[in-house]
Amino acid sequence: MTAVRTATLLGVAAEAALAVPGVAGLQPRLSRRLAAAAAPTRTEATPDRTSPEAGVRADRAPDGSGWHIEVRCVLAEGQRALDIAQNVHDRVGAAVLSHLTARDAAERVTVEVVVTRIAARHDAS
């Protein structure tokens, strides 16, 4: 069994979520946003945007039986939020499970989708 890096799972989950039509972006948790605000001033050489992975959290289940993935989505207006959230749930779960299976580390995966806001068409973040 190959060791699975949490950072890799974050990338897999973020990529899958962002591929869902109607997802305008991923929003970091408040703790990440506060930490970024407290960080030293950025220079022009450093990007001012947060990585998409900051909108995803991956934790081992408390009993060690699998992974819990939380995805914080900003949705585009004009579509049913429930449909988009269900699509994100299904695609992220399938992508993470496929990633784990490819590394001979298949485990139970639970996915939680949090819709943080609906972005107006001119307000995509």
Mind listing the pLDDT tens digit for each residue in 18-44?
Answer: 999 999 999 985 444 455 556 566 555
pTM of the shown model: 0.81
* Arithmetic mean of pLDDT over the chain: 84
- b or e along 83-119 (b: 16 or more beta carbons within 10 Å of the residue's beta carbon)? ebbebbbebbbebbbebbeeeeeebebebebebbebb
Name which of 11, 13, 14, 120 is nearest 75 in CA terms.
120
Residue 32 is predicted with a pLDDT of 46
Could you give phi then psi for residue 22, rounded to 5 degrees?
Answer: 100, -10
pLDDT at 29 (0 to 100): 58
